[in-house]
Chain A
């Protein structure tokens, strides 16, 4: 069940020049001091320490082409942010290789650092007490952006994000959404070819999220840059990315289209039935699990291969006014995937993923 996008990607992969990011067997493990509860245990810990190894990333392989907008999805602690940090050279891996634009990120070469940007929703890089425009000017000097290019790009970005009147306000006085816009401008001033976005819409209200999504979509299509985005909000992902990489417990369990996730990981569909009156028949459970009952409507979760037969049988036996068949909501499918992964069986999903591609 290979999605069309995966197909087109493998076509592209013949052309190595298009490949922007190439990751092979990337692993990152941390040694963490395990602290037990209580004072007595703490004192014991002074003399004998117990360490625990945390495998944040456990062997990731990924290839991203120029101009792709890829979403990294996964539960908290799945290794998404760690992967972005590895790719931006903030930390070094335990093993494995990665090349971004032909550079090994953790060598921290200036030639590489001029060509990408990282935006983190949880952290800010602008000078807190100064207006954003002062930080922009500093960026111009650090990246040595040509003054003319700098002015053009800044004005373009400022107008797109509608923040012109906020440029002179100290960053600490901006709202979270406004600050995020400024962070994005700061990150894009040097016109990076690769952009890493770590939860750029975290904590924003719906309008602000929507603005940022629109901006990212427009900008990405305009500049054809490669973007890797992590987010908890399905809306971000649906709005922006046609390729989704799902990470859980440090491994990739799915790489393909969003629609592909539902096809692959959900064996069920939801049938909604609307009856003529409030007396619902009692034999519906044999067709599938009842997930919602609001007479005269009822929602059933039915196995995919039984949808036609069940529906036929129901329509034959009962007076039905309206009917609809839908996929399970994406969030729900992904939540189920995550919970399987969390129970410690990511390999279950992993094998199903490798058999697919």
Chain B
């Protein structure tokens, strides 16, 4: 067990190294002069010189990476080129907004996917199964920016049921906050729901065919107890292990959803800073997204090792 954890942690180090290298080189390898690109054609020679110095563009590459990474490790992601604010400060301010959206979307996704996936597997090859799998495929195929625009058209412009976009902190007006979260959560949640539903269906089919389920059925357990207590619990394992992938989908989707619904989170920050060529900010956002996913993947593996006796016992027998 400890050996497994140690190995898993050690494996994270090179991944983190390459993540940092990718984030660093993305911006460093911009063709042309990054200072000129960031400040535009009309920037003065002096201003360009100052920015070049600040970014260390006059130094060799390896040294620049060393300086950058030593700052990052101390939590210093640099300053925004646009408003001179600390990238870290801005990120910390935006993260809770995206976190709320991620949680509400995950609730939407799992609320749709778990019953639908379980039912489709239980009634395999029935009309329900075909309907559920077809709807799931449609859910994967529907572009989230179109779904978002159509929801705004139907629910905000036509029916006037919901505000078309914006954001209010939950501690200022919880009711309005939740109202504003409905459409973004549906948009972000449906694509994820489709993915989770398909995964759950296939793992549930496997579980339902296993010996212990047959034994439980032979004991005379009702379908309800059988599905919920025995089958679903085990079928959820693969769904839980792809939490990292789900988070990736949520963060990628947040870029689009937050832009459409004017939600001031990390996704919107990513688009804004990319479109305004605020490269220190872009670096910060991209690094944050990758670190979040690496952390979730690590956490899932560690929790899994604690829960699964096969991993726990493997070391002893080896």
Decide whether A and B are members of one complex.
no
